[in-house]
Chains A and B, each alone.
Chain A
């Protein structure tokens, strides 16, 4: 089955700790994205990548980092610099090198909370 797999489903972070959220897709999509959703709010773009070894900051990149070493994988690290990390994190992908005009397909998300 083709799709996007995010892990873990639930994650708890201690103060001062970096944590990494995994996102893997087998849809052969070029573009991948990370969003954050807070309760009752819309999705906000953290980072996106149009192609391997390249990525761009979204609207709220501070306190986060990403890498795109393989087409299938786009992990997100939530660093200790992100002071309010509690949120629902969603990874998405779309076909085409720019993603323009292409819908995005989502993984089932990771819920991150602070201990």
Chain B
């Protein structure tokens, strides 16, 4: 089983839609969780950290479910500019190492 698994997509949604991605992780001792965004042929950029209590940043909401070992990202009121690949990132309790999922591609259309 992969350490971090994501549905590769693509998720094709119309502008204004709400879309959610899940990501599962295998190491129950994982401590830190993040969502990154990567545009085509660009570097990943931190979108948000994921806290145990869940957290929101504008149209983006991240949640952590430790019991089922998954994190989620909800995007409300999708914009064309949200089109990108979203990477789930987990710290597997090994010092200084983050494990990146292969990403979920989102395409927002008119």
Contact = CB atoms under 8 A, between A and B. Distances in A.
Interface stretch (A14-22, A68-76, A78-86, A101-109): A101-109
Interface residues of B, number: 21
Interface string B87-110: 101010001111011110000000
Contact of A103 (B46, B96, B101): B46
Interface string A11-46: 000000000000000000001010100001111010
B97 A90 contact: no
B49 A103 contact: yes
A63 interface: no
A108 B101 CA distance: 19
Contact of B43 (A41, A50, A109): A109
Nearest to A108: B43
Nearest to B48: A103
Interface string A77-115: 000000000001010001000111111111111000000
B32 interface: yes
A42 B46 contact: no
Contact of B91 (A40, A42, A100, A106): A100
Interface of A: 31, 33, 35, 40-43, 45, 48, 50, 56, 58, 88, 90, 94, 98-109
